[in-house]
Chains A and B, each alone.
Chain A
Amino acid sequence: MTPGRVGIALLSLAMLGAKAASVASEPLVYVSNERSNNVTVIDASSDKVVATIPVGNRPRGIGVSPDGKTIYVALGHDNAIAVVDAASRAVKGRFAAGSDPEAFAVSPDGARLYVSNEDANTASVLDTKTGKVLAAIPVGTEPEGVSVSPDGRRVYVTAETTHTISVIDTSALKTVGTILVGSRPRESAFTPDGQRAFVTAEIGGQVSVIDVAKNAVVSTLKLDRPGPKPKGVVVHPSGKWAYVANGGSNDVAVIDVEALKVTAFIPVGIRPWGLGITRDGKKLYVANGVSESVSVIDTESQKVVATVSVGKGPWGIAVGR
């Protein structure tokens, strides 16, 4: 498929049929493995690996459609986003995604992907039905992490060189604000009520807390660890806790969202990077890039309850249905 002809190249139905498997009723956790070019599938009920899906070259950013039927994986060395059928666990097509795609977010209605284009300093908006690029919106320099507000109206794009969050209005498809945060912002995550967002800054070693309505930083939380290098961030479905993967200090910071305080650091594997949390909030999954494992944290006890071996260079995590 050429970059100019955007769309899903459907593989033959026969191939899909041959590999068909039912979608498990328990949540499935998908882990992109940057150096083994595949996605590990973990059954959250047993925390066992149930499948490994070859997807393409240098998979990093990963997301699941709201209905759980489709997994999207950014393929940095293929300049594409793989579209994986969750039932058959097979790649059913690709979207052209510009140079070296790394991170993206799926809209709450599943209709769009918002993709950061690092070399072009834009965020692309893709239609998930057609793969067509609806817009390329200028953002800061070296855009990286992308997140969508729960109501789908705002998209945050971090920019690592300008140390900013570009705030995109998803109706107007334009940037409506810019927020200065810590040095080298990597990811952001909204609270379920959409009122606040948490932004990690890898070089700044901090988390910026943003008042979404005001487009302003209301608090900055220093991560009191040696060279923490925070990267991944998720918010608990209850909205009470935020979790930050500290790739430099090999732990996960627990943030009390109401008090805006770091209350604990949970030791995990080496270079924790991507995070994913189950929809009931009971389990937090942590991709340990160097350990080649996923730590499973029980959020109630704040302890690691399992460690799962995955592929090489686990990077991102997405939790399905």
Chain B
Amino acid sequence: MTGRRFGRRAFLASLAAGSAALLTARSTRAEDVFTVGVLLPVDAERATELSRGAALGLEDANAMATLFAKRLRLETETDRPGGQAGRALARAGVLAIVGGAGPGGGETLLQLAGAGTTVLNVGALDDRLRNEACDRRAFHVAPSVSMYVDALTQLLIEQRKLLRWSVVSDGSPRGAEIEAAARRSMARLGGSIGGDAAAADILLLAVEERGVDNAMTRAVGEGRRPDRIAAIGEGGMRLPGDRAAGIWALAWHHELERFSARELNGRFRRRWNAPMTETAWAGWAAVKLVGEAVVRASATDGAALVAFMESAPPFDGHKGEALTFRKWDHQLRQPLYVAGARKREEISGSLGPLAVLADVGGKNLDALGTAITESRCRFAS
């Protein structure tokens, strides 16, 4: 599917949302219209998730914005190698660009930010984007690798006292970041990595996102206890029911109910007849954040958007806490979730292979990810 087709679909969705919202509008004033660019990854599945999340975010943002004679619209393109799509969106004068969901997407966003566009990262987890490669115009809605790993260690080391870890790495940059994050977290919490792998309490999969489901299956095949293998991201959701395994750190789960997550998940499912994934959640959140900047701060350009985000407005991500961007690296503070494999007989219908075991970080969101004292981010003034 091409970016243009996604764009048309998203535009039609925005029209439908706008029509509904107009019914509640109290003003006949002309509306100010703001365009948000969305860069979709080439991968069709992930692109669909982001597109749907952004469209729901647009509907929610416009439900608010149209009450105050403002409106957002989306301009959607596919982020192919070379970065032309992002540059074209930037030249078209969008208020911000939402992207980063595919391989290399984070680098594209940084190039756009470096050239003066405000970007919201909804998929690139790399710690380096929040540290040595940070940019003042980049805001990270998606959690970092370190945040995911901290979610695992807070549950497994702090609460369950599973202290001895072993790491399986695929040698990729992502694998290296996961292992480094785990070592950093161990230094905080008192666990250890190394020693006899067979005797380890937890096997951590430090591998690329696209291979993590297969790595999980291999580890189980080699005789590891399925509930003692940890990984980050949604790879576990791709496992068929008879191979459901592992403990997974997630940014969102379609079965969350507390803190009105049930309502958000319900709206998404009614809208798309599909579960809300963490990429969809991030897309929803990013577009809604821009909408709040437009309404609350009357932001009309990128600089005003940056100022609004840096003012730490409490964002309601349906996670039960006020979500704000960290001043030192522009990472969105947020609770994360740890999910475990369901029993095979419990998997049916909308109940997928993973069930949420715990939410993590609620009382101290800065305990997830890079602390201010550890940050290597230095924003150019």
Contact = CB atoms under 8 A, between A and B. Distances in A.
Interface of A: 118-119, 121, 138-142, 160-164, 166, 175-178, 180, 182-184, 203-205, 227
Nearest to A174: B26
B64 interface: yes
Contact of A140 (B63, B266, B292, B315): B63
Contact of B314 (A119, A140, A160, A203): A203
Given A118-B263, A139-B24, A203-B316, A161 B60 contact: yes
Given A162-B67, A205-B314, 13 more contacts: A119-B266, A139-B24, A140-B67, A161-B63, A161-B64, A163-B316, A166-B24, A176-B26, A177-B26, A178-B68, A180-B68, A182-B314, A227-B321
B316 A184 contact: yes
A164 B316 contact: no
Contact of B23 (A138, A176, A177): A138
B322 A178 contact: no
Contact of B63 (A118, A162, A183, A205): A162
B266 A180 contact: no
Contact of B260 (A160, A177, A227): A160
20 contacts: A119-B263, A119-B266, A121-B24, A140-B24, A141-B63, A142-B263, A160-B316, A161-B60, A161-B263, A162-B60, A163-B316, A164-B64, A164-B67, A178-B68, A180-B64, A180-B68, A184-B260, A204-B314, A204-B322, A227-B322
B26 A175 contact: yes
Contacts of B24: 121, 138-140, 166, 175, 178
Nearest to B322: A203
A178 B63 contact: no
A177 B67 CA distance: 9
Main secondary structure of the interface of A (DSSP, over half): loop
B295 interface: yes
Interface residues of B, number: 21
Interface string B223-263: 00000000000000000000000000000000000001001
Contacts of A175: 24, 26
B316 A183 contact: yes
Contacts of B161: none
Name, among A138, A140, A175, A203, the residue most crowded by chain B CB atoms within 10 Å (CB to CB): A203
Interface string B13-39: 000000000011010000000000000
Contacts of B68: 178, 180
B64 A163 contact: yes
Name, among B24, B63, B313, B315, the residue most crowded by chain A CB atoms within 10 Å (CB to CB): B24
Nearest to B24: A138
Contacts of B292: 163
B64 A183 contact: no
A183 B363 CA distance: 19
B28 to A, nearest CB: 14
Contacts of B60: 141, 161-162
A289 to B, nearest CB: 12
A203 B314 CA distance: 6
Contacts of B63: 121, 140-141, 161-162
B64 A205 contact: no
Nearest to B68: A180
A178 B315 contact: no
Contact of A183 (B23, B26, B314): B314
B296 interface: yes
Contacts of A141: 60, 63-64
Contacts of B313: 183
A302 to B, nearest CB: 27
Contacts of B266: 119
A184 B315 CA distance: 9
Contacts of A204: 314, 322
A205 B322 contact: yes
A203 B23 CA distance: 27
A19 to B, nearest CB: 36
Interface in B305-338: 313-316, 321-322
Contact of A142 (B260, B295, B296): B260
Interface string B49-73: 0000000000010011001100000
Nearest to B295: A180
Interface in B113-168: none
A176 B25 CA distance: 10
Interface in B199-225: none
B329 to A, nearest CB: 22
A178 B314 contact: no
A160 B313 CA distance: 16
Nearest to B59: A141
A314 B295 CA distance: 36
A139 B26 CA distance: 11
A208 to B, nearest CB: 13
A121 B24 CA distance: 10
Contacts of B316: 160-161, 163, 183-184, 203
